[in-house]
Copies of this chain bind each other. A is one copy, B any other.
């Protein structure tokens, strides 16, 4: 019988390699896998690349991981939230690399990775500083830039409920990047509030089917 649940949080974040590209869900705190990120901070992995919309706030979750010194590079759309002090300090000290990607392009590049699209042309960022150095093409009279897939080795995501097969539902706007990150990573690890029986979730409502999920950590609040 398939059971993707792991028995503790250390097992959830085990076997992550040095230099891994980690997709980390959430828009601000909503949908961020705080506990998984903090557990990862306690491992001895190093030289990580983090892909996330933001760069962490306060000193918890992603900020705690960044503070641990394990993050070499961040790929995100908006690292300048008022609370992103830890990141901004390291950035100013040139101790962390930053790659800013427009939010929709960030999401679409991960979708391309998950959907087997080799590259795509998007009008977003064409002609701007963020489009510099990219291949461009005029399509239907509009300048586009060519963007490539952004694939993760690991995705750390948050959800509301899972079953042992990895079927998942989310809560409100905390859904945000989790579904696309689940598709785009080789191994997807989900932190959920509740594990339910197989068949309990409405099949019309399952947002991320188990095919995209590898490990489930049930976080008892």
From A19-27, A41-49, A135-143, A180-188, give the one contacting chain B.
A135-143
A112 contacts across to B, CB distance below 8 A:
120
Closest to A143 in B: B118
Interface string of A127-149 (1 = CB under 8 A from B): 00000000001011010100010
Given contacts A204-B169, A205-B202, contact A120 B120 (CB under 8 A): yes
A193: interface (CB < 8 Å): no
Bound complex: CA A115 to CA B107 (Å): 12
A residues with a Cβ closer than 8 A to B are 108, 112, 115-123, 137, 139-140, 142, 144, 148, 169-170, 172, 202-205, 207
7 interchain residue pairs of minimum CB distance = A118-B121, A118-B139, A118-B144, A120-B120, A119-B121, A205-B205, A117-B120
